[in-house]
Amino acid sequence: MAAAAARSAGIEAELRRSPRSFRVLTGDRPTGPLHLGHYFGTLQNRVRLQDLGADVLVLVADYQVITDRDTSAGLGAQVLGLVADNLAAGLDPCRATVFAHSQVAALNQLMLPFLSLLSVAEVGRNPTVKEEFAASGGRVMSALMFTYPVHQAADILAVRANLVPVGKDQLPHVELTRTIARRFNERYSPAGAFFTPPDALLGAAALLLGLDGQKMSKSRGNTIPLSATEDETARLIRGARTDAQRRISYDPAGRPEVSNLVLIAALCQGRSPEAVAEEVGGGGAARLKAVVTEAVNERLRPIRARRRELAADRGYLRSVLRHGNDRAAALAGDTLHRVSDLMRMTY
Ligand code: TRP
């Protein structure tokens, strides 16, 4: 963890020096609309990397949705919604590539040689898979869930990304990707490395909690979706958990719910949380919620306006995705071709 954080600082410097030497892959599962936590945690960073000049690819990880659900119904709308969220936040389809992994056959095929490079025990040690399994309350785990970190490695290596912005929970996947890259090189490309083991880029963003003080997550319904209206936003924030102390302060350890609301306002206004808390002062939870609502709606107004326009033009969203799929397919096709050559599987 500490090593990854130190490494991330070095990469930030390198990004400023030579942004074009980076190909970045990030992605989300299309399980619902993106929310404020995504915006401050990842979307803003994607746009920043794009604007620095890195080659940014954004994956709509549709196969990951069926790791733990038994239907793909409604996926089409979720996928286009995810494209709209990314573009509304500032991703530019002329510079960045948005693609869905189900549409890139070569990427999925690469999972087969990659699986051969790992033992069952190694895959089973992945902490994220273990957590997912624990969270499922003993429901049966699909074999796709078991192998999803390997699929994620295929996402990264298929397009030969060398930088993967992630949260802490995804670090083991990047580590596994590095292992696969190294083993492939040792086994099939001893004369010179073919795959470059990618680096993780750990975000500096503060982690937002959900409005109930729990982990913010689409499935818990405790988020503020980017696509929510201003009235919906006001209602969601009105229902947020606070505490009985009237004077508002910023004390994340002692007062997590109140401090989280303060932090949301601060991020939206580009101010320090302490300044927000100071301003609300003795106004109590009601005043704090009014300030947060105003700050969120103000900040998201242009993004929401863009998103509404985009959502009304599904043909355009589809064309962006098709264009991205084509580029990803060209990259992954080339990778698979060269992998097959190195493995002498060309007959
Ligand atoms: N597993 C990631 C998540 O749930 C999404 C994802 C899939 C991803 N493939 C990826 C992220 C490749 C980075 C790189 O958020």
pLDDT band at 136 (very low <50, low <70, confident <90, very high): confident
Is-contact 264 292, C-beta < 8 A?
yes
- Of ligand 1's listed atoms, the one at least distance from the Cα of 28 is 5
Given a cut of 90, whether residue 203 has pLDDT beyond it is: no
- Residue scoring higher pLDDT (135 or 50): 50
Residue 99 has φ and ψ, to the nearest 5°, of: -145, 160
Is-contact 311 226, C-beta < 8 A?
no
Q: At 185, list the tokens.
A: 């090189």
Instruction: Tell me what pLDDT residue 221 has.
Output: 86
CA distance 27 to 155: 9
Pocket lining: 28 vs ligand 1, CB cutoff 6 Å:
yes
Among 110, 114, 155, which residue has the most ligand 1 atoms within 8 Å of its CB, making it the best to mutate? 155
Given a cut of 90, whether residue 140 has pLDDT beyond it is: no
- CA 86, chain centre distance (Å): 11
- Of ligand 1's listed atoms, the one at least distance from the Cα of 155 is 12
CA distance 182 to 5: 22
Ligand 1 center–CA 284 separation, angstroms: 39
Give, using CA atoms, the residue closest to atom 2 of ligand 1: 28
Instruction: Tell me what pLDDT residue 169 has.
Output: 84
Given a cut of 80, whether residue 39 has pLDDT beyond it is: yes
Pocket lining: 55 vs ligand 1, CB cutoff 6 Å:
no
Among 29, 216, 218, which residue has the most ligand 1 atoms within 8 Å of its CB, making it the best to mutate? 29
- Of ligand 1's listed atoms, the one at least distance from the Cα of 101 is 9
Give, using CA atoms, the residue closest to atom 8 of ligand 1: 27
Pocket lining: 152 vs ligand 1, CB cutoff 6 Å:
yes
Least confident range from 74-83, 128-137, 159-168, 241-250: namely: 128-137
Pocket lining: 25 vs ligand 1, CB cutoff 6 Å:
yes
How many C-beta atoms surround the C-beta of residue 134 within 10 A? 9
CA distance 120 to 293: 49
CA distance 317 to 323: 10
**pTM of the predicted model as reported, rounded to 2 decimal places:** 0.95
Ligand 1 center–CA 167 separation, angstroms: 10
Given a cut of 80, whether residue 3 has pLDDT beyond it is: yes
Please compute the mean of the pLDDT values over residues 243-270 and round it to a whole number: 96
Residue 13 has φ and ψ, to the nearest 5°, of: -65, -45
SS3 call for 58: strand
Please compute the mean of the pLDDT values over residues 51-60 and round it to a whole number: 98
Please compute the mean of the pLDDT values over residues 289-309 and round it to a whole number: 98
Please compute the mean of the pLDDT values over residues 137-150 and round it to a whole number: 89
- Of ligand 1's listed atoms, the one at least distance from the Cα of 165 is 13
Given a cut of 80, whether residue 137 has pLDDT beyond it is: no
CA distance 236 to 224: 7
How many C-beta atoms surround the C-beta of residue 204 within 10 A? 10
Instruction: Tell me what pLDDT residue 204 has.
Output: 75
Portion of the chain with pLDDT greater than 90, in percent: 88
Please compute the mean of the pLDDT values over residues 128-148 and round it to a whole number: 85
Instruction: Tell me what pLDDT residue 217 has.
Output: 84
Ligand 1 center–CA 347 separation, angstroms: 34
Given a cut of 90, whether residue 8 has pLDDT beyond it is: no
Please compute the mean of the pLDDT values over residues 261-273 and round it to a whole number: 97
